[in-house]
Amino acid sequence: MLGAVAVLLGLAFVGWLVWRAAKKRTINAHMVMYGLSCASGIFTLVFFLSMDIDKMIKILVSVILGAALIFLAAYLQRRQLPKAD
């Protein structure tokens, strides 16, 4: 059940990006990175909740991994390429 919800939310995100592109609105890199971070957080939550360990550990690991993925997305967005001389 949770897997189906995760897949539907992933498809909804892709549909939202296609809808924005069809309306000729800009799609910024930070919007895509934020969406991918949210989608990976959802899939991570589904993966850990399907395992056979205590519920508190599942939630804790999911939150920590989700925070790490969001931090990584923000770091990659802010990173600047060196200027060529």
- The angle formed by the CA atoms of residues 11, 15 and 19, to the nearest 5 degrees, is 175
d(CA 41, CA 33): 12
**2 pLDDT more than 70:** no
Domain range for 63: 28-78
**16 domain residue, yes or no:** no
**60 domain residue, yes or no:** yes
**44 domain residue, yes or no:** yes
CB contact set of 36 (below 8 Å; sequence gap of 6+): 73
**66 domain residue, yes or no:** yes
Tokens linked to 52 = 């056979």
Per the structure, the count of domains in the chain is: 1
**13 domain residue, yes or no:** no
**55 domain residue, yes or no:** yes
Tens of pLDDT along 13-24? 788 878 888 888
Q: Are 49 and 58 in contact (CB under 8 A)?
A: yes
Tens of pLDDT along 38-51? 777 777 777 767 77
